Amino acid sequence: MPYSAPAAEFRFLMDHIVGFDEVMASARFAEATPDTVNAIITEAAKLNDEVIAPLQRVGDTQGAVLENGVVRTSPGFADAYRAIVEGGWVGMAGETDYGGMGLPFTLNAVFNEMISGAALALGLIPLLAQGQIDALETHASDAIKALYLPRLNSGEWSGTMNLTEPQAGSDVGALNSRAVPNGDGSYAITGQKIFISWGDHDFGGNICHLVLARLPDGVPGTKGISLFMVPKFIPDETGEPGARNSLSVVSLEHKLGLHGSPTCVMAFEGATGWLVGAEHGGMAAMFTMMNNARLQVGVQGVGIAEGAYQHALGYAMERKQGRSPLPDGTGTIVDFADVRRMLMEAKAEIFAARAIALACAVAIDMEKATGTPEWIARAALLTPIAKSYGSDTAQKVAYIGVQVHGGMGFVEETGAAQYTRDARVLTIYEGTNGIQAMDLVGRKMMDGGEAACRLCEEIEAEAEAARATMPELAEAVWIAAETLR
pLDDT higher than 80, residue 64: yes
pLDDT higher than 80, residue 1: no
User: 382: closest CA among 367, 393, 394, 398?
Assistant: 367
Percent of the chain with pLDDT over 90: 93
- As a whole number of angstroms, the distance between CA 209 and CA 160 comes to 5
For residue 21, give the H/E element and its range. Answer: helix 20-25
User: Which pLDDT score, from 0 to 100, does residue 169 have?
Assistant: 82
What b/e readout covers 360-386, taking b as 16+ CB neighbours within 10 angstroms? bbbbbbbbbbeeeeebbbbbbbbbbbb
Cβ neighbours, 10 Å, residue 33: 11
Question: How many whole angstroms from its chain centre is CA 448?
Answer: 29
> How far apart, in Å, do the first and last CA atoms of the chain sit?
42
For residue 465, give the H/E element and its range. Answer: helix 450-466
pLDDT band at 94 (very low <50, low <70, confident <90, very high): very high
Mean pLDDT over the full length of the chain: 96
pLDDT band at 282 (very low <50, low <70, confident <90, very high): very high
Q: Per residue in 261-280, pLDDT tens? A: 999 999 999 999 999 999 99
Cα–Cα distance list, 403 to 342, 382, 420 (Å)? 9, 31, 11
DSSP string, 161-175: EE--BTTBSS-GGG-
- As a whole number of angstroms, the distance between CA 156 and CA 72 comes to 18
Q: Please give the model's pTM, rounded to 2 decimal places.
A: 0.96
Residues 6+ apart with CB under 8 A from 423: 257, 301, 304, 305, 308, 391, 394, 395, 398
**Which stretches of 371-432 are DSSP H helices?**
373-405, 416-423
Cβ neighbours, 10 Å, residue 336: 16
The active-site residue out of 137, 367, 430, 460 is 430
pLDDT higher than 80, residue 367: yes
CA atoms within 13 A on the CB side of 46: 8
Look up 50 and say whether it is catalytic.
no
Q: Per residue in 190-208, pLDDT tens? A: 999 999 999 999 999 999 9
